[in-house]
Amino acid sequence: MSLDFYFSILPFLVSIFWFFAFAKHYRELDAAKRVLTIFFGVCSVLELCHALLYNVFEDHVLPVPLESLWFACTLSVYPIYYLYICRLTADSVSPRKTALILAPGILIALAFLLWPSAIIDTVRLVVNIVQVACVVVLGSRRLRAFDHRLAESYAETEDKDMRPTRNLLIVILLIAINSIVLNILGRESVITSQWLILFALDPIAVQLFLLGYIGYRRSFRVEQFLADNPEEMLPDTPAENKELGAKIEQLMVTEAYYLQQNITLTDVARKVGSCRTYISSYINNELGCTFSDYVNRMRIAHAQELILRHDRSNGESKFSVIALEVGFTNEQSFYRNFRKFTGMTPNAWLEKQRHENHLS
């Protein structure tokens, strides 16, 4: 078999692989991964249509029913991925809104089934471009907003934040632009060129693999976020900022509660006898930072003291041990936050301190 045959079926193989990988555990999956399962099911049908187009039909034209199915899948994958982002960020979407999001693709597919024409194909391309733009822009906003909510609720967010999914939106945008350019060149031009088939389909296969891999590997469930952050009934009058600030300082600074691992805003609220909303508002407005930055800044300051203390006593500064001592659960989180608050790695910071002390 020719090389272009393998190029043409690769996206289908990737899609069907992830569909079965998710589907075999469907009952145990959270809401977001269930939507991702549906996404890969639709992708499998879409990429099967592509494979048939390139390898089965000699005139490289799908029968109208298959072309209509291809339209429906093409105009459904991006909306379904947006629904996945909504589920991933604890935003429920009503059945009515879901129907509205999916309706354009279904209606255009039905229109092509009944009245196949180049005009409907052009409409399909325009709607597809709008969908990509909406998913990238609106999806990015939702993911960033959720990351902010995570930083307001947890001291450590490395295993929870949405950076990998946000980065994937850039990949989706670039590959969508590539697909649009090839669409403008025309189907016949792509199909008759092995290199254009490569540029058309292999980036899609890579994108699909990354979407599946990141989604499959994600262990933090949004249900856990909702359980850790229950809806609150606010007291009639909030505690005075001065009083609330004194309680937080007593707990976090005097009692060094920041040294505890995996602390959350809810934990602090219980300790000081207030509600999460007021504490979050105080930290944001009075201290000018998120809960995560508030806790981790104190941890890094403590870590700096320990590093210097070990260095003065000619002891070896084992950063992995120090990371655990100051409350981090892993070295990755420690190194990321150290660089964030000092602008350098622990080793570089220690060398700078040694140099400055030597000069003085």
Residue 234 lies in a domain: no
Do residues 63 and 196 share a domain? Answer: yes
Residue 103 lies in a domain: yes
**pLDDT, tens digit, for every residue of 225-252?**
888 887 766 665 556 778 889 999 999 9
What's the CATH number where 249 sits? Answer: 1.10.10.60
| 279 or 202: which leads in pLDDT | 279
**pLDDT, tens digit, for every residue of 192-226?**
555 555 555 677 888 899 999 999 999 888 888 88
Mean pLDDT for 19-46 is 94
pLDDT at 1: 54
Q: Which of 205, 227, 249 is the last residue of a domain?
A: 227
Do residues 248 and 169 share a domain? Answer: no
Mean pLDDT for 1-16 is 79
Calpha distance 105→16 (Å, rounded): 22
Q: Which amino acid is at 351?
A: E
Residue 232 lies in a domain: no
Calpha distance 156→177 (Å, rounded): 36
Residue 299 pLDDT exceeds 70: yes
- Using a 10 angstrom Cβ sphere, with 0-12 exposed, 13-18 middle and 19 or more buried, the burial of residue 248 is buried
Calpha distance 177→13 (Å, rounded): 23
| 138 or 90: which leads in pLDDT | 138
Number of domains in the chain: 2
**pLDDT, tens digit, for every residue of 139-194?**
999 999 999 999 999 999 888 889 999 999 988 888 777 776 666 655 555 555 55
Q: What percent of the chain has pLDDT over 70?
A: 87
Calpha distance 313→228 (Å, rounded): 42
Calpha distance 101→110 (Å, rounded): 16
Q: Which of 227, 252, 267 is the last residue of a domain?
A: 227
Going by C-beta distance under 8 Å and a sequence separation of 6 or more, which residues neighbour residue 4? 54, 194, 197, 198
Residue 233 lies in a domain: no
Calpha distance 141→300 (Å, rounded): 30
Do residues 271 and 355 share a domain? Answer: yes
Range of the domain at 348: 239-359
pLDDT at 77: 93
C-beta atoms surrounding 139 within 10 Å: 24
What's the CATH number where 219 sits? Answer: 1.20.1070.10
250 DSSP 8-state letter: I
| 200 or 64: which leads in pLDDT | 64
